[in-house]
Amino acid sequence: MFQLSCPGKQCVQNDVLSGLTVALALVPEAVAFAFVAGVEPIVGLYGAFMMGLITALIGGRPGMISGATGAMAVVMVSLVAQYGVQYLFATIILTGVIQVLAGVFRLGKFIRLVPHPVMLGFVNGLAIVIFLAQLKQFQVADADGALDWLTGTPLAIMLGLIALTMAIIYVLPKLTSAIPASLAAIITVTLIAIGLDLDARTVQDVLRDMTGDPAATIGGGLPSFSIPMVPLTWETLEIIFPYAVILAGVGLIESLLTLSLIDEITETRGRGNKECVGQGVANAVNGFFGGMGGCAMIGQSMININSGGKGRLSGISAALFLLTFILVAPGLIEMIPVAALVGVMFVVVIGTFEWASLRLWGKVPMADLFVTVLVAGITVVADLAIAVIVGVIVSALVFAWEHAKQMGAKAFIDEHGTKVYELHGPLFFGSTQAFQDLFDPKNDPDDVVVDFYDSRVADHSGLEAIDTLAERYERAGKTLHLKHLSPECRTLLDRAGNLVEVNLLEDPRYHVADDRLA
């Protein structure tokens, strides 16, 4: 059921005021992430507006804020640099389609398969990538168009304004929470740069360098509908599809993780699959209306929740206030020094990086530390989606290896001269060799019992291992008995099925992962 806000005037007031606070904080980050992606600031602002509005209306988590994000911007930058912004818009449309399909096919639940070490590597790698993306702001184009590093007085001014921005963001919340610290820092640094007539690069300067137009501006009217100007060919699809898959994965991972975090804080339950659809529709609309797309924003969502905004009205208000800023006050945004935006992003980097992970050495298994470092490294050199996928695969293999070592058996001869193997541990693809090594058909007595009471057969490889064991004892002329197997195991066993001793009271009931069950 759609619920705009909780009942009562106070809830409406909280949502609207929280939305205003979020909108003020969205402006600098949307512009900064647009620079990261290599697009004009207005593209980032439009993206933040449309993502925020649509996900607030149809997303799966009231109170969650979406907009242009660094996680997706760092993926976009190579596409924009190589093919241009029109290919970005086409890619964002395809990204939205993929995300909608993920929601329709109910894939949102698989976020629970992401292990904690992968999450640590994910956020640490994201922080490093955002930091590295800021370094290009320390470069300026010379007369020939080549980039040179800042030196001397310009560098000193840049570093001084960055330090001031970061100091204000850290100190102000200790004094008052009436205004977002990042917004207060940007306003203060901008006024100082103007008042002292400092030779500091502004958003207008960067915009001029990006477009080559001295009169370039971020101002504009309402976003207008336009089909991306790209060839409708198979070659175009080959270009945009890999980027779209990566952007869809990155966007859904970050959005669903943010949703889980807000669920935990508010002690409510969001709808992951509905959020996938909401994110997808928002990105598809972005592609048709000239926005850079995006996903859920952890920082802005936390600002919203902490400011009292918990209903959909808070996200709607934030988007509408942001649009108002674009239409009414673009000149004010162009006056912002780039150093202020870099300072904001450095604070985001410090807040995003999980510093506690540095203290885990010697306290957690080395395999978990390896996964964390691996995911962070791949995030930096490749992209976030590939890093998470690789991390999950490696974590799964480590899990399988550790559980494969648990396969064992207690062997003894009972009073009837029968050798009994009491198994323990799971029987699956990783433990089949250890299972086979437990038995000695050549030297065992004529009567052998294998008891699966403390073991479980997990997959088809386990079933094949049991059938192979039956063949070994058959060739040795020995009689094999299998006890405490589930009904599914008895059904799926080919050669060893007739060796199973059925005990309806004691035999376990569990499912086996096997295609023949379908």
Q: For the segment 331-364, what is each residue's pLDDT rounded down to a tens digit?
A: 777 888 889 888 888 887 887 788 888 888 878 8
pLDDT at residue 180 greater than cutoff 80: no
The pLDDT value given to residue 211? 63
Predicted pLDDT at 1: 46
Please give the average per-residue pLDDT across 502-516, as a whole number: 73
Q: Which amino acid is at 389?
A: I
In this predicted structure, what is the pLDDT of residue 6? 64
Highest mean pLDDT among 13-17, 97-101, 120-124: 97-101
CA angle 503, 464, 516 (to 5 degrees): 80
Q: Which residue has the higher pLDDT, 456 or 176?
A: 456
Residue found under tokens 């806000």: 5
What is the predicted pLDDT for the residue at 221? 78
pLDDT of 178 > 60? The answer is: yes
The C-alpha atoms of residue 482 and residue 336 are separated, in whole angstroms, by: 76
φ and ψ at residue 426, rounded to 5 degrees: -75, 145
Calculate helix-pair angle for 181-195, 338-352, nearest 10 degrees: 150
- Split at pLDDT 50, 70, 90, the class of 504 is low
> Which residue type, as a one-letter code, is found at position 273?
N
pLDDT given at position 5: 62
Q: What is the pLDDT of residue 110?
A: 76
Q: Which residue type is seen at 84?
A: G
pTM summary value: 0.74
Share of the chain above pLDDT 90, in %: 38
Higher pLDDT, 50 or 501: 50
- Does the pLDDT value for residue 284 go beyond 90? yes
- 303, amino acid identity: I
Q: Give yes or no for a contact between 109 and 273, defined as CB atoms under 8 angstroms apart.
A: yes
Pick the more confident residue, 330 or 80: 80
Question: Which residues belong to CATH 3.30.750.24 in the chain?
Answer: 405-517
Of 410, 455, 412, 413, the residue nearest 432 (C-alpha): 455
- CATH label, 405-517, candidates 3.40.50.300, 3.30.750.24, 3.40.50.2300, 3.20.20.100: 3.30.750.24
> DSSP alpha helices (H): ranges in 357-408?
366-381, 384-404
Q: Mean pLDDT, the chain, as a whole number? A: 86
Query: Which residue reads 């403390």 in tokens?
Result: 454
DSSP 8-state secondary structure symbol assigned to residue 220: -
Residue type, 12: V
The answer on pLDDT for 376 being more than 50 is yes
Is the per-residue pLDDT at 269 higher than 50? yes
Reported as a single tens digit per residue, the pLDDT across 464-485 is 999 999 999 999 999 999 998 8
Is the model's pLDDT at 262 over the cut of 60? yes
**Max Cα–Cα distance, the chain, nearest Å:** 99
Report the sign of the C-alpha dihedral through residues 502, 507, 513, 518, in that order: positive
Residue 135's pLDDT is 86
Find the mean pLDDT for residues 442-455.
93
pLDDT above 50 for 310:
yes
What is the average per-residue pLDDT within 54-76?
A: 89
Q: How many CB atoms lie within 10 A of CB 355?
A: 10
Q: Is 496 helix (H, G, I), strand (E, B) or coil?
A: coil
Q: How confident is the model over 406-432, as a mean pLDDT? A: 93
**CA angle at residue 18 from 17 to 20, to 5 degrees?**
65
Q: Which residues are CB-contacts of 376 (< 8 A; sequence separation ≥ 6)?
A: 120, 121, 122, 124, 125, 128, 387
